[in-house]
Amino acid sequence: MHLDRNQLKFTIMFKNSPILNILRIVISVLCFFTLTETAFAGSGKYKNSKQPYWGVGQYNGTLSDACRRHEFNQKKIQNLNIGYSGKIGRGVTGIATQAWNLHDPKGLAEVNITYHFFNDRYSNCKVYVARFRRAR
């Protein structure tokens, strides 16, 4: 490709333009915020804990099997979740109840129970059951 003298001057002038540098920075910042907002959208952090994720409730093998078969899952994965950041048992569990965020076509859920899903919709899905605590 051959550039004549005027095209070359314009290219050099435009390449080193302060306006172009500012435009690059603005576009980079907008892209960063757009990408991070998308990454955090739907991430409803309920709580953080240093305890291992399996301490959230009682492991339920029947519900875990149903979870692996896509018969007992969250409607929206990680809609509300708990993060576990201790030295052991790191992970995230999604939360659902019989009345909220639960796909349960076989009617396995019970009233006054919170279901915590680890790796929902994967072959190693685990469901932990926790009873509601009564208000004092």
Q: How far is CA 32 from the centre of its chain?
A: 18
- Average pLDDT on 21-27 reads 59
Show the 3-state SS of 64-95. HHHHHCCCCEECCCCCCEEEECCCCCCEEEEE
- Per-residue confidence at 28, pLDDT binned at 50, 70, 90? low
Measured in Å, how far apart are the chain's first and last C-alpha atoms?
A: 80
CA distance 80 to 96: 8
- The two three-digit tokens of residue 90, written as one number: 């790191």
Position 113 scores a pLDDT of 94
- Per-residue confidence at 7, pLDDT binned at 50, 70, 90? low
Instruction: Tell the burial category of 128 from Cβ atoms under 10 Å away from its Cβ (0-12, 13-18, 19+).
Output: buried
| HSE of 99, CA atoms in CB hemisphere, 13 A | 3
